[in-house]
């Protein structure tokens, strides 16, 4: 099974979330490779069985510029069987809370086998841990039920 988390993080909130999720997979003895988006080999995207996208939100609910190449790669390459998920951190102060997660969700729903999404308010807190566990379980169950 070839699994990746591909992410971006400017001030560290999304990175903290990503590392927590990666550790939850490790607890289940599931290896997930971690890539900052700039280091991800976009041409290899269809060779992954599962990809989790991690992103903050910028501007007015926008996808950060560095994530756009990944977004386009899902649109232009054959990924309909790839199990995907998207998670992110954002700030409820903004009208479009985690707008980048919504934008990835809408695209991945069409272009891939989207399993689950997760939005976290700014920085990960203990109260979020259970939601993270559910996110990880739902993603993994997609493989177990073979859809």
Positions that interact with ligand FMN (CB under 6 A): 9-15, 56-61, 89-91, 94, 96-99, 122
* Shortest distance (Å) from residue 124 CB to ligand FMN: 10
* Shortest distance (Å) from residue 22 CB to ligand FMN: 15
> Smaller CB distance to ligand FMN: residue 79 or 90?
90
- Indicate if the alpha-carbon torsion angle 15, 79, 130, 24 is positive or negative: negative
> Smaller CB distance to ligand FMN: residue 9 or 112?
9
Cβ contacts of residue 25 below 8 Å, gap of 6+? 3, 31, 32, 136, 140
Q: Please calculate the CA angle 19-74-128 and round it to the nearest 5 degrees.
A: 30
Cβ count within 10 A of residue 128: 18
* Shortest distance (Å) from residue 125 CB to ligand FMN: 12
Q: Which residue is nearest to ligand FMN (CB)?
A: 90
Report residue 114 as tokens: 């989207």
> Smaller CB distance to ligand FMN: residue 29 or 60?
60
């Amino acid at each position: 099974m070839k699994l990746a988390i591909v992410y971006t993080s400017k001030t560290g909130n999304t990175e903290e979330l990503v590392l927590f999720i990666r550790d939850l997979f490790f607890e289940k003895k599931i290896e997930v490779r971690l890539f900052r988006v700039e280091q991800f080999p976009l041409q290899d995207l269809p060779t992954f069985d599962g990809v989790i996208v991690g992103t903050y939100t910028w501007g007015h609910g926008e996808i950060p510029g560095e994530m756009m190449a990944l977004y386009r790669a899902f649109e232009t390459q054959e990924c309909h069987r790839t199990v995907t998920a998207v998670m992110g951190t954002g700030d409820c102060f903004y009208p479009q809370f985690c707008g980048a997660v919504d934008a990835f969700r809408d695209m991945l729903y069409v272009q891939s086998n989207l399993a689950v999404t997760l939005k976290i308010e700014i920085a990960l807190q203990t109260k979020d841990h259970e939601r993270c566990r559910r996110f990880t379980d739902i993603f993994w169950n997609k493989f177990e039920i073979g859809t």
